[in-house]
Structure 1
Amino acid sequence: MGRRPSNPGAIPHLRIRKRGTRSYYYYDHGGKPRKEEPLGTDYGLAIKRWAEIEREGHERPAGIITLRYVTDRYIAEVLPTKSPTTQRGNLKEVKMLMSYFDDPPCPLEAIEPQHVKQYIVWRKAKVRANRERALLSHIWNWAREMGYTKLPNPCAGVRGNRETGRDIYIEDEVFLAVWTAAEQPLRDAMDLAYLTGQRVADTLSMDEDDIRNGQLQVVQGKTGAKRRIEVVGELAELINAMVERKRRMGAITRKLITTAKGGTMSYRMLNGAFQRARVKAGVKFENFQFRDLRAKAGTDKAESSGDIRQAQKQLGHSSVTMTEHYTRNRRGDKVTPTR
């Protein structure tokens, strides 16, 4: 067996070693001397290989089945099918669930609705508690399908915390303040995210090779929706400038967004740069988050075109109703005075 992780709720047997700005992943097989199998530096591929090793080395236990065991199986078999962003989010959620339900290990059959409610009350981050409950529910349903339990889902009928959707609209002067305080790589990222209206992860993944026939080809990671964004106007000027800067610095990546040295820009790097620029600009965290650029893009698109369906197409929403809720709650309906 591998050693017990010092970080409660961590993925069993997965070890992370930091080398400068890069993270290296290993599978801890345990033993003396300890054997660690390299999984590479790509998180998604590392998790995929981790899942393969877990499937090869684990059999269904003959005794009491715990939530930890079922969750580990879920991580090994279901998590690799999700997008990298969802994987990272789910792993954080698992960490919190295990800190509550795996200390000491809780038998799956012992979990009742009252325990789920107690968890929601115990968890201080109320919105995150709702997400964690949703994941627990999904894990339980999967466990039923796989025959680990016959009991009904204990999350059914358990009310979560009330949520109010984010309704911040980023005014142009706020955008400009942070943009002015930002370094060039972040400026490029902000402009690209706004002009395309795509999610953070999708914006970071945009590649020079995605531009074909004068269109930027996008496959949204969250929904799989495909978009062909015409590379014209300000977007064309931006991309041309970004590619030229990459050429001058001898960039080693095909990604459109790069670091100041021409390397690949990770989400963590982007987030850190955005936080520094926001602080420098004197803008509060709650008043501007990078993800707000997508909503600003949709809202501005709807107003400038006079057609909410244009914003719907750009954002990749499945219905106009969703886009209306997404944009109008940010800025409000535009109306005329009584006289």
Structure 2
Amino acid sequence: MKARARPSGIYYYYFNGSKELPLGKDYVDAVRKWAELEAGNTSVAKTIAITFRQVAEKYTAKVIPTKAPRTQKDNLGELANLYKFFDDPPAPLDSIEPHHIAQYRDWRKVTRSTQEIALLSHIWNWAREQGYTKQPNPCVGVKRNRAKGRNVYVDDALFQRVYDQADQPTRDAMDLAFLAAQRPGDSLRFKETDIRDGALWVRQGKTGTPVRVEIVGQLAQVIERIKARKAATPGIRSLALVVNEKGQALTASALDGRFGKAREKAGIGTMEFQFRDLRAKAATETEDTAGMEQAQALLGHADAKMTSHYVRHRMGKLVKPTR
């Protein structure tokens, strides 16, 4: 394979002994086409190798933009750590083996390495589909650094202690997050335009799952209260349901700060109550009163196994006595 400098950049060619065949400008694609033309000349193949970074950068350009915004942000952060290990020095893709994945796990130590290895695994499977490697996925069978999940149930008394110390925007956010049982980010994205046909229409940011939460009971009261507060706020108002005192949408960082202050005033530690625990509280109480199927539907999970992670061991299963 030969590289030729042109005014618009470097182009690659395959020399078959008599003439040069164009392979394109993209190095990774050029290597793949070269390998197909070379048809298994292993003695030459060792001299030209696609590195992990080169494939990961193509994955970043083609696949990551199709994911949810939060997932995109997480993937980019995970790749930064993967590059520290697999690109210093650059690692040829086909040279990565299971013991290298285990070394990475032990080098990182933190449980976040589990998500990073999962991303590497996804990149590898994509690379196989694209023809960049024929090697088996080295992540298969490698143990991960597993975190012990939170097992916190926020009872009504604990909820009320923070609620009493919170400002009104934070109270609105807490009510909506608990009653609609959605993730914190999704709860902040609720808009008046999401209210249609007597329901709050949700498109979950993480999975894209659609959920319609019927506006009845306490949820209806909270939404009416929010609308009344917004109507009484002078100036330009946002369509968001969770707004600050000026009627503008409350950001995630602002909510974190306000919730943290309320929790501190209530004398409650960070590990005792986190805003995300409201989704688990909703799942637990829904499962307890209406069953796992209803809890699963409310949370928008594809299967009950995922929902069980939110309700297991939190409050204790309500059971009937023997007699």
SS of aligned partner of 2:201: strand
Going from structure 1 to structure 2, the CA distance change for 1:248 and 1:130 (only over 3 Å counts) comes to: same
On the 8 A contact 2:199/2:212 being kept in 1, the answer is yes
1:335 aligns with 2:323: no
- Write the letter of the residue equivalent to 1:60: Y
Going from structure 1 to structure 2, the CA distance change for 1:281 and 1:98 (only over 3 Å counts) comes to: farther
The residue that corresponds to 1:177 in the other structure is 161
- Which of 122, 133, 144 is matched with 2:117 structurally? 133
- Which of 247, 251, 259 is matched with 1:266 structurally? 251
**Superposed CA RMSD:** 2.3
Going from structure 1 to structure 2, the CA distance change for 1:319 and 1:143 (only over 3 Å counts) comes to: closer
Shift of 1:251: 4.3
- Which of 60, 69, 81 is matched with 2:27 structurally? 60
SS of aligned partner of 1:109: helix
CA distance in 1, matches of 2:96, 2:251: 38
The unaligned stretches of length 5 or more in structure 1 are 1-57
The unaligned stretches of length 5 or more in structure 2 are 1-24, 32-47
Shift of 1:122: 1.3
1:114 aligns with 2:99: yes
CA distance in 1, matches of 2:165, 2:80: 35
Shift of 1:95: 1.8
CA distance in 2, matches of 1:110, 1:251: 59
CA distance in 1, matches of 2:305, 2:288: 16
| Worse-matched range after superposition: 150-159 or 189-198 | 150-159
- Which of 126, 142, 145 is matched with 1:161 structurally? 145
Shift of 1:293: 0.6
- Write the letter of the residue equivalent to 2:203: V
SS of aligned partner of 2:314: helix
- Normalising by structure 1, we get a TM-score of 0.76
Going from structure 1 to structure 2, the CA distance change for 1:230 and 1:164 (only over 3 Å counts) comes to: same
CA distance in 1, matches of 2:27, 2:107: 31
Shift of 1:308: 3.1
CA distance in 1, matches of 2:131, 2:139: 18
The residue that corresponds to 1:284 in the other structure is 269
The residue that corresponds to 1:144 in the other structure is 128
- Write the letter of the residue equivalent to 1:179: Y
CA distance in 1, matches of 2:188, 2:95: 43
SS of aligned partner of 1:198: coil
SS of aligned partner of 1:217: strand
Q: Which has more radius of gyration?
A: 2
1:199 aligns with 2:166: no
On the 8 A contact 2:288/2:317 being kept in 1, the answer is no
Q: Deviations over 1:66-122 (max 9, x none)?
A: 222221211111111111121122122112212222233322233221111111111
Identity, % of aligned positions: 50
- Which of 220, 233, 241 is matched with 2:225 structurally? 241
Shift of 1:324: 4.2
**Alignment: residue pair count:** 281
Shift of 1:321: 4.8
1:311 aligns with 2:278: no
- Which of 124, 127, 135 is matched with 2:109 structurally? 124
Q: Deviations over 1:140-170 (max 9, x none)?
A: 1111212222222111111112343322111
On the 8 A contact 1:200/1:290 being kept in 2, the answer is yes
CA distance in 2, matches of 1:263, 1:318: 34
CA distance in 2, matches of 1:141, 1:272: 40
